[in-house]
Amino acid sequence: MCGIAGFIGAAHDSAAWQETIRAMLAAIGHRGPDGIGTMLDDRAALGTARLSIIDIASGTQPMSDPSGRYWLAYNGEIYNYLELRAELEAAGRVFLTRSDTEVVLQAWLHWGPDCLPKFNGGFAFAIYDRASGRLVLARDRYGKRPLFYLRRGGEFYFASEMKSFFAVPGFAFEQDADQLASILACWTPLPDQSGFKGIDSLPMGEWMSVENGTITRHRYEALSFDSAESVASEAEALELIRERLQASVALRLRSDVEVGVYLSGGVDSAITALLAQRESRHRLSTFSVAFEDAAFDESPQQREMADFLGSRHQALTISHGDIANALPDAVFHAEVPAFRCAFVPMFLLSRLTRDAGIKVILSGEGADEAFLGYDLFKEVLLRRAWNDLGEDVRRERLGKLYPHLTHYGPQEIAALTGLYQQFAEERMPGLFSHEMRFQNGRFATRLLREAGDPFAAISRLVAEAPGYAGMSDIHKAQWLEYKTLLAGYLLSTQGERMSLAHGVENRCPFLDPAVVAAASATNLRFDDGFEEKRLLRRAFADELPESIVTKRKFPYRAPDSAAFASARPDYLEALLSEAELAKLPFIDAKFARRLTDKVLNRPAGEIGTKEDQCFVFLLSIALLHRFFVQREGAGLTRVTPPPMRTVDLRGKPLAA
């Protein structure tokens, strides 16, 4: 795991290139505190801030092939690198290290872009060909690792995090109002969005080439839930799920350092921890977030699972003040607006994890998307059938839909009846499954003076997606979850960004392609009781505590606006005063101030979900403006970069 950065065709004096690449890497030194390396020649520079996980002694980057022609800067892990290495050695490739980094380089040189679908892991990398001057960038199929790029005339810059672009001469950050409208409406950046003008994100499942000033993007894998596998019975499906998850966890335990597990209190992380303990050579280390606010706390289930495993368990109890005080640092690392505060406790938990000496962590992300764990999937089926159901059946099914809501009763069912009637027909082509969610997002766009059509970008995304139009309603819902909330928020803002802020790599067994294929092959749907993740639960029912297996989905959340209403951090009023808000040219300062006054001064029970999300969006946008546009710090977490290793090839042509 690392952070990467570089550029090609930079117009400024090459004498300054070394300082530019150093500054780009120093800005992301938290991602790789174990060493920084750079390579420069007469056309390009690239570098890596390394977090040493595999082949600690000899996996130094950037890495070249023996000829010195090709250079790789690589972020991530390829979990099946041993299998790929054996295949490459059988084809005649010779290896000099034990690292997965060299496997990536050799695989590209042997197979070209055809190597990308073979990679099982989370990655983003750059390969530079000194002979042709061609630069190639690639990103994993699910968007686990970030990769941003910036074009300025004939100059091209790339980095794992946008804060590296502070080092680009003459570049000034400016928030993009059109992208912000899309982010507010969809709750998250779309695959190619950054939130800033001039900066793009390379979408998951794509690679791109930069050569002679021309940029070409290619899709190497389209997201699909059609599976060539089939199962003959439920027993066969359960066995397939167990086998695939066990193999996935075993792959993700490949490491030269200890691997721990995050325990949330739910079944996904419990299964992950169970399988990790089974494969581990040592007693497992587990970590959890607990909350002083009982409405968000799952610590009893976390302790029960830790006791069941016999793990070395540490829990971090989070208060309202903890969230309010840590938000600025967490937003700085997230780099994009957020609609909830649940990422802040994960920022604090990763610090605890690293302080405990753990560099690698497993988590249960991706299970709900593959095994249909969200209420959204059940809602889609009920809404689509709504007009064909009688009133009694509608109420009966609504009554089974949200068993985890303690306040859920006849009054709520009556209110939902009207809502479901309103959204029983598709209004936005291709987006039927998410229309109720987007209704909340539409409210948040009121923060902007002019929002245009905030759904134009996501409408284009689904219209251009291969095979999307022919998918079932459930598969479309899954596709949207993978492309939006999973990649844009759960894996990045709440996941990778928060863990790497403290030099911790996160790995997700449920994002193994073979596990996703197994979930699709088992024809997972709901029974009449709307039991989510039915086969996943049954697959491990005999191996976990019954209370964990039967526990209904309890979405991981944290206090949002209530944390700021009670803690009142010092920065709040200065950041959200009407005068300060007026500095954001795209924000409706009067609406924003009315929202702020209501959220901070009225009882929490009077603040609706829409207003709650809108306030967190406003606060994160204002913080991003201060940090990136105004370039003003606020006690930001920084890491002193280690000494750099530099390979300076300027003026040194390739040997014939």
> Exposed, middle or buried by CB within 10 Å (0-12, 13-18, 19+), for 29?
middle
Q: Which pLDDT value is given to residue 57?
A: 54
Pairwise CA distance, residues 395 & 555, whole Å: 23
Specify the residue for token string 């689904």. 462
Q: What letter does residue 640 receive in the DSSP assignment?
A: P
CA distances from residue 234 to 167, 367, 381 in whole angstroms, order as listed: 56, 19, 22
Q: List CB contacts of 328: < 8 A, sequence separation 6 or more.
A: 571, 623, 627, 634, 635, 636
Q: List CB contacts of 258: < 8 A, sequence separation 6 or more.
A: 282, 285, 357, 358, 359, 360
Pairwise CA distance, residues 522 & 516, whole Å: 10
Pairwise CA distance, residues 449 & 148, whole Å: 28
Angle at 656 between CA 85 and CA 133, to 5 degrees: 70
Q: Is 207 helix (H, G, I), strand (E, B) or coil?
A: strand
What is the pTM for the complete model shown? Answer: 0.95
Burial 589-616 (b: 16+ CB within 10 A, else e): bebbbebbeebbeeeeeebeeebbbbbb
Q: Is 395 helix (H, G, I), strand (E, B) or coil?
A: helix
Closest CA to 299 of 258, 327, 266: 266
Pairwise CA distance, residues 306 & 310, whole Å: 6
Pairwise CA distance, residues 433 & 384, whole Å: 9
Pairwise CA distance, residues 83 & 104, whole Å: 12
Q: What percent of the chain is helix, strand and coil (3-state, nearest 5)?
A: 45, 15, 35
**Contact 148/335 with Cβ under 8 angstroms?**
no
Instruction: Name residues of the chain where pLDDT drops below 70.
Output: 1, 51-59, 403-409, 523-530, 634-643, 656
**Contact 6/126 with Cβ under 8 angstroms?**
yes
- DSSP string spanning 11-67? -S-GGGHHHHHHHHHHTTGGG-TT-EEEEE-SSEEEEEEE---SSTTT--SSEE-TT
- DSSP string spanning 366-392? THHHHTT-SHHHHHHHHHHHGGGS-HH
φ, ψ for residue 318 (rounded to 5)?
Answer: -105, 130
